[in-house]
Amino acid sequence: MRYLPLTVTGALIFTSPLMVCALSGPLLGETIGWRRWLAIPVGFVGILIIVRPGTEAFQPASLLGLGAAFFIALFSIITRKLAGVDTAMTQQFYAGAVALLIVTPFAFTGWVWPSNGVTRLAFFGAGTVGMIGHILISVAHRSAPPSTPAPFNYLTLLYLAIVSRLIFNEPPDQWFYPGGGIIIASGLYIWLRERTLNKSATSVDEAITR
């Protein structure tokens, strides 16, 4: 985020739903049809449009964004597996505790205390909204199938575009719109396909029950 606009970072992170789809087979035992497999590389075409590797516009920090998306996908899959097992607060406790134990030794190697109240408030706010967000995600997975809340994630790109323009004076460039559109379209297609398959499976189960 030090080297990339918020909109680019957000677009990179939003490849995580595509990664979740790809990883759902080996990690969750779900069957992924050819249509959804086709949507995954289409989504990554959108990433290539945004980061433009091989050109002067390419920023190596983009690879860090893709790495973040991969770990977010793993986090989402683990949350999905635990959604029907543990409460949202239990998940939040262990997610925070493990992260704290792992990060703390590295944090103090270059530790600098916040110099003013505004910075302290910003750090506190980041931690608070992150905790609230994870709790809401856990509750959403417990209350509805994973495919139901998925489309709402893409509102984040809109929020990032607004914040980037108003606060950092970095409007999205012309490549963000087609690339981001492709990423969103492929992600929404995967969601619609999963929703259709879930409805079909539910109908079959109801027919068998009758």
Q: Residue 145 above 80 pLDDT?
A: no
Identity of the residue numbered 53: P
Domain membership flag for residue 102:
no
Domain membership flag for residue 37:
yes
Burial status of residue 87 (CB atoms within 10 A of its CB: 0-12, 13-18, 19 or more): middle
Q: Which domain holds residue 166?
A: 6-86+147-209
Domain membership flag for residue 178:
yes
Domain membership flag for residue 141:
no
pTM: 0.68
Q: What is the mean pLDDT of residues 15-27?
A: 82
- Indicate the number of domains in the chain: 1
Give 66-106 pLDDT, tens digit per residue: 899 899 888 888 877 776 677 777 877 888 888 889 988 88
Residue 154 in contact with residue 183, Cβ under 8 Å? no
Domain membership flag for residue 94:
no
